[in-house]
Amino acid sequence: MAEELNVNVTGINLPPIKVEGTLNIPTINLTGQNGKSAYEIWLEAGNTGTQEDFLNSLKGQNGADGRNGNNGLPGKDATADGAYEMLLGLNVYCENATPDEVLKGLIRGLGDAINKPFKHLEFDRPQKGQTYINVYGTPHFKVALLGKGAAFGVNIGDDGNGRLDLDSPFGGSDIELEYFNMLGNIVGTYRVSGYGDIKTELSRGDITDTIVEEINYPEVITVDSRALTNVLEVKRLILPKVRNIGSLAFNTGWEAELIKMPSYVFKYGSPLSNLTKLALGANIYLSEESDPNAIYIWNDMQLHGDINVYNGDGTKKVDLQTKTWVPVQ
């Protein structure tokens, strides 16, 4: 009599089975669920149409409806190695496939395409006494006075315009400008010619109007003896470049409120010391090389009270008690 053996198949690999006698194995039916067709998946993706429409959608466009593209280089992975191979294929040298070298290669390769020539600097010659100069050039470049450096320059705006302040009113002296690129490197130096007819020396008779409150000569370096004794009521004396003053150059009756002579070194016996009627609290700007002791004596001679003596840029002041230059608080 034959024996029936029930076998539970749970894996693919079955161990050897030893069967004695007669073994009847029932028929095994392996039936699975039918999968979706490509057409059905196409419909589920939101498309509509017949199976013919689906088949047509798999065809590429051609003729008038398509575009002919140029043959390109084989695609590469978006990695440094892939970019390295592509650059070499474009005849752009890279030393190796590191990101830094690949980036350098890209920059070298793009250099000729993106290298933009800069505009040379242009400017308007300032008027006499003007305290600024208009400049024109490449946006985001900088312009500075010679020796100042890019950090103290004016930035050229998006419209290509800039305005640079001058250290003193423009006059007889030339000025030089330095032009910097976006890295702060000098790409040009330019000279702006001063006016040749600017007065650099004041002599007796140069000022015919004897009643003026302000004497202002930006380029004067020398004031001759008795040059201004005929001028009566000066309140402001502005001579930023004066270094030499002759004896009895000024009218001793001035009650000046402001004297700006930042290049002048005041010492014992200076012709300025003849001005003993300065206004109370008059502000005076002199070279920091001036002698504080001589200034103390000059102040002591004043009829109307103490005066304030500063260095050229106003950052220091003569302390009349200690007779020294001290920082302005």
Q: Cα separation of 27 and 210, whole Å?
A: 136
Q: CA dist 177 to 4, 121, 131, 289, Å? A: 110, 9, 15, 28
Q: Cα separation of 145 and 190, whole Å?
A: 10
Q: What is the pLDDT of residues 3-33, one digit of tens each?
A: 454 545 444 455 555 555 555 555 555 455 5
pLDDT at position 110 is 74
Count of domains for the chain: 4
pLDDT at position 100 is 86
Both tokens assigned to 23? 């073994």
Q: Do 304 and 204 belong to one domain?
A: yes
- Residue 320: CB partners within 8 Å, gap ≥ 6? 295, 296, 299, 306
pLDDT at position 66 is 46
Name the strand (E) or helix (H) holding 100: helix 99-114
**Does residue 25 fall inside a structural domain?**
no
**Does residue 212 fall inside a structural domain?**
yes
Q: Do 230 and 305 belong to one domain?
A: yes
Q: Do 207 and 326 belong to one domain?
A: yes
Q: Do 256 and 152 belong to one domain?
A: no
Q: Do 223 and 172 belong to one domain?
A: no
pLDDT at position 11 is 47
Q: Cα separation of 102 and 84, whole Å?
A: 6
Q: Do 180 and 102 belong to one domain?
A: no
Q: Are 83 and 76 in contact (CB under 8 A)?
A: yes
Q: Are 63 and 41 in contact (CB under 8 A)?
A: no
Range of the domain at 231: 199-329
**Does residue 72 fall inside a structural domain?**
no
Q: What is the pLDDT of residues 190-218, one digit of tens each?
A: 999 888 777 889 999 888 888 889 998 88
pLDDT at position 189 is 94
The one-character DSSP state at 23 is E
Both tokens assigned to 1? 């009599």
Q: Cα separation of 131 and 166, whole Å?
A: 5
pLDDT at position 283 is 97
User: Phi, psi at residue 71, to the nearest 5°?
Assistant: -70, 125
- Low-confidence residues of the chain, pLDDT below 70? 1-36, 39, 42, 54, 58-78, 111-115
User: Phi, psi at residue 43, to the nearest 5°?
Assistant: -65, -40
The one-character DSSP state at 309 is E
- What is this structure's pTM? 0.46
Both tokens assigned to 324? 């020294």
Q: Do 204 and 327 belong to one domain?
A: yes
**Does residue 216 fall inside a structural domain?**
yes
Q: Do 175 and 139 belong to one domain?
A: yes
Using only the alpha carbons of the chain, give its radius of gyration: 46
